[in-house]
Structure 1
Amino acid sequence: MVRDPVCGMTIAESEAAAVARHDGKTYYFCAISCRAKFVADPARYLDGGAGGEAAETAGVEVKAGAGKAAAGGPTPAASVGPGRPASGEGSPVRVDLGVGGMSCASCASTIEAALRSVPGVRSASVNFGAERATIFAAPGTAPAALLTAVRDAGYEPRTERVTIPIGGISCASCIQKIEGALQALPGVLRASVNLATAKAAVEYLPLQVAPADLRRTIREVGYEPLEMAEGSVDVERAAREREVATLRRKFWVGL
């Protein structure tokens, strides 16, 4: 058993919702929002910042903030974030990835082989009907490597982009804080904040994280996500379009 350094909750490594590595050590979290807080400001929880309570994680004396943040996002299992290359240590974490372009069961086998060749990947299975790949990998495995493997095999990993206006941004430090918190979310591929426009542009895996998770994370680090900008992703419409494409593909395959 280990202790979440942010909220102090005791959890099993295999049941952690997210993990992060800092200074060569692995930390486990009960919720992705706890991981986001930790990555945005590790010193607050490791060096006894204000409002912390004593906790012990991976043999290191740390400080944890009071209260437990609610878990969020489409995937409750531990997930890979945009961190450093895999070290091979720790319990495997999970990535759920939408994949387009498959036309038969052989396609699924091809994608599985491509994903298993990525360093750090311990297992990969592809559901042809659901157009979904489920990957278990070492903590810190870069999602970009998984996407590249799928593309190199001739298929298209599904990502989405959203632009979120943010209130309260006033300096470069604000940008670093927001970007750090967003990039710490499992399933976020890229996050950049423009000081001049006060908007965050985020690319993410829709099976891992949702726009609501992004907005909640921004709010948790002290800023206010405003209404979605015109032209931002319409998740419901995108889902309908994918469903229609899937039905059309199944119809032609069945002929």
Structure 2
Amino acid sequence: MTPSRAERIRREFARAWGEIGAAWGVAPSTATVQGYFLAHGGPLTEPEIRGALDLSHRAAALALAECAEWGLIERAPVARRTGRRGPAATAYLAVGDNWEWFHRVAKARKERETDPVIPVIARCVELARIGAAEGLAEGGEENELRDLSQRLDGLLRFVHLFDRGVGVIVAASPAATEHLFAVLGELDDTTMARLIELVEMVEPADLALAARAVARFSPRAVKRLVGLAGTPALARLIGR
């Protein structure tokens, strides 16, 4: 039976999603299955997935299990019969909206990648510091250990900050993350470039101090502050 035009588009999208996933280190079959769920929008069984994406039973089952482990799909409340014979099969549904699965992927990748590597890097930094401080090495290796410690310490700070950024998304609700990205979507490239330029001119500690002060405001006060942003009164108060 020839698939409908909509079904052909779904399959093409799923294949493209699989290629994107592979570039990010996700098994192509897993990403392809997730892509098909995203494009389909309804409950699907393993036989339906297998038939639509031309996967073996093993590949389809493994991909479904991996999607479930990442929290991208969940079992539908009711089994689904896909043919005239045999028992109804377990059906699966994509979880939530796009921001929900994005949130879950971010959380899973943080737990699998940055969380485990931070203590490893920290341990290596400490070992290099101890070696350089105690003078355990010979032939001038103390300097090499000191340089290694500094290099790894810089990497550790980078990973800590990256992990902190991902952690902010993970700690927020999917709705809050969507709201934040919606704000970015309202800003044109020129405005974003200017904001980044201004941020670079202010010390991180000073920006953090201002952020902590704003965080203590009530919602009503924040709305009033935002409302003043485009008024001449604020420009006169702080200058340009």
- When normalised by structure 1's length, the TM-score is 0.21
Structure with greater proportional strand content = 1
Structure with greater proportional helix content = 2
- When normalised by structure 2's length, the TM-score is 0.22
